[in-house]
Amino acid sequence: MMAKNCLAAAGLFNPKQKIIAAGIIGNIIEYYDFALIGFLAVMMGHLFFPSSNPFLSLMGSFGAFAAGMIMRPIGAAIFGHIGDRVGRRFALITSLVLMALPTFLIGFLPTYAQIGIMAPILLVLLRMIQGLSVGGEYASSIVYLVEQSSPGRQNLYGSFVSVGAKIGMALGSGLCGVLVWYLGEDAMGEWGWRIPFILSIFIALAGIYLRRDLVDDYEPKEDKTIPLVAIFRHHRKAFGQFLIVASIVWMFYYTLFIYLPIWLQGSAGFTKIQAGQINTFSIVIGVIFIPLMAMLADKIGSIRVMKLAALLSAVSIFPLLYAMIHTGFTGALIATSAMVVLLCAFQAPIFAATVHGIDHHGFRASFTALILGSAAGIVGGITPALMTSLVEFSHDAYSPAYLIGIFSLIAWGVLARIKTS
């Protein structure tokens, strides 16, 4: 009771603040886990996918990541339907519980050395369960926040989901960095890697507490039409346009926050600790600039901001990667921060823009879930493995820049044809 009174006194039970906190907590958990997978990819590759070839071990680790991500469109379809037909609140609570449990259990998994082939099988299975629930969590929270937003602040409220993601990434990456520094790489590789997964349970408990009394103004309609059927029948063009743009946004996103720490070590010659420091700092920059870019989108229009970001990304991505290799730690820090600002301008408006991509209120959760779930799950999920393979087989450290540059131009072209503002 005393703790509750203290929180109330601190203003944490203000209705709007609680809506925001409840909306973003699931994404904190989701991206906390993604940060662990990215930071610990090499260690977990050796533990669960041992091989004499480091490339194959790393690909095994990223493959487990991709398996969970590919489940996201399925989860998006399921939970999007629940959100439209049952209610946003039920979808948010159910997806949170199903997402948090696998992250916690990964911390107790035996390794390949202990139980053989069952170790990677169990890891992939937990990642798939998690991916299923994440597919619904992400879009459900976006739709909920945009619908509960104040007039003229829909981009800002929608962007809070990404703020939650950045907070989760910062927590995960920062905690791993501290553990490596304190325990050393040997102890971290033996048992310390389990700690951040186990500690995720505390974030999950906070999320359940925040969501137990959610305000939900949405009233499911009596219309018996299946939302996904209606979307593909009547809204195919809008669906395709937003799917292309969102896919390119998430290719950029997972290159920057999941693959780049590995690239900084292999191609730019930084240590694991230095790469972790750059990654953690860049995430903090993201937390600052996501809401700033969202507020800009609320002022001048979502599509206009994304078009500018796509064009600037296409032009600057190669020089930024060049700077990371040739200008030392400080130069890499500045270049990575610049990439984050571009990504924020690209990503911040996509949330509210997608929610309003169709005008039918009863189909929004399914429309948003399937687009963002497919973009993040399929494209985002294979991006780390794709970028790793591209550099490995091309022997060109800049090959990720070529891919992002080309697809950013494609995004710019598609955005030019979208009439939504």
Tell whether 420 is covered by a domain. Answer: no
Tell whether 361 is covered by a domain. Answer: yes
pLDDT score, position 4 = 44
SS (H, E, C) the chain: CHHHHHHHHCCCCCHHHHHHHHHHHHHHHHHHHHHHHHHCHHHHHHHHCCCCCHHHHHHHHHHHHHHHHHCHHHHHHHHHHHHHHCCHHHHHHHHHHHHHHHHHHHCCCCCHHHHCCHHHHHHHHHHHHHHHHHHHHHHHHHHHHHHCCCCCCHHHHHHHHHHHHHHHHHHHHHHHHHHHHHHCHHHHHHHHCHHHHHHHHHHHHHHHHHHCCCCCCCCCCCCCCCHHHHHHHHCHHHHHHHHHHHHHHHHHHHHHHHHHHHHHHHCCCCCHHHHHHHHHHHHHHHHHHHHHHHHHHHHHCHHHHHHHHHHHHHHHHHHHHHHHHHCHHHHHHHHHHHHHHHHHHHHCCHHHHHHCCCCCHHHHHHHHHHHHHHHHHHHHHHHHHHHHHHHHHHCCCCHHHHHHHHHHHHHHHHHCCCCCC
Count of domains observed in the chain:
1
Tell whether 421 is covered by a domain. Answer: no
pLDDT score, position 9 = 38
Tell whether 233 is covered by a domain. Answer: yes
Tell whether 25 is covered by a domain. Answer: yes
Tell whether 218 is covered by a domain. Answer: no
Tell whether 263 is covered by a domain. Answer: yes
Q: What is the CATH number of the domain that holds 303?
A: 1.20.1250.20
pTM of the model: 0.75
Name the residue range of residue 65's domain.
16-212+229-415
Q: Going residue by residue through the chain (421 aa), what tens digit of pLDDT does each one get? A: 434 444 443 445 566 677 778 778 888 887 788 778 767 877 877 788 776 667 777 777 677 767 777 787 888 778 777 777 777 777 778 878 888 888 899 999 998 888 888 888 888 888 888 778 777 777 778 888 887 777 788 899 888 887 887 788 788 888 888 898 888 888 888 899 899 999 989 988 888 888 777 766 666 666 667 777 778 888 888 889 999 999 999 999 888 888 888 888 888 888 888 888 888 888 889 888 999 999 999 999 999 999 999 999 999 999 999 998 888 889 989 999 999 999 999 999 998 898 888 776 667 778 888 888 888 778 887 888 888 888 888 888 888 899 999 999 999 999 998 875 4
Tell whether 309 is covered by a domain. Answer: yes
